[in-house]
Amino acid sequence: MFLKLVKPYLVMTVLIPILFFFQNCSNLQTKSYDIDEFVNRFKDDSAGEATFSCIHFNSRSVHTNFDQISAFVNPLEFDFDVIGPSETWLKDTDNLPNMPGYNSVCSNRCEKSGGGVGLYVRNSYSFFKRQDLVSDETL
């Protein structure tokens, strides 16, 4: 799944390293944190830096494990820009569970079990799904 975010950022804060592709972003910086480091570093969210934050989970069924994902993210008291569950295990026309403050988009694996990816994107972002980059062969 490919999305184009319509808001440029220079610094990327990553809790769990994931692969993200940015064009024309020569000042990209990344850093990984454990939970305590993260909470201490961002508890006030007043670092004064332009940040883009994302977190990734291998959800192994987003419907089954949504409460556990929420229980992990909520105590961090940080509004990630993007939350990306993989292995959503959604069927055909299923959608991601609702997450307040976020819009969601997903690509489900059809005709097979498992797989699937999704993104929760903060409401403050404008984005669109790049259909020209989607191939049934990649699902």
Amino acid symbol at 32: S
63 and 99 in contact (C-beta within 8 Å)? no
Tens-of-pLDDT digits for all 139 residues of the chain?
333 343 333 333 333 333 344 444 556 667 777 778 877 877 766 455 557 788 888 999 999 999 988 888 887 878 889 999 999 999 888 999 999 999 999 988 887 888 999 999 999 998 888 878 776 654 4
Q: Degrees (nearest 5) of the Cα angle 63, 66, 70?
A: 165
The reported pLDDT for the residue numbered 64 is 93
Give the C-alpha separation, 121 to 89, whole Å.
Answer: 19
The reported pLDDT for the residue numbered 19 is 37
120 and 99 in contact (C-beta within 8 Å)? yes
Amino acid symbol at 112: K
59 and 84 in contact (C-beta within 8 Å)? no
Domain extent listing, the chain = 3-138
In the block, tokens 């990816």 appear at 117
pTM, entire model:
0.71
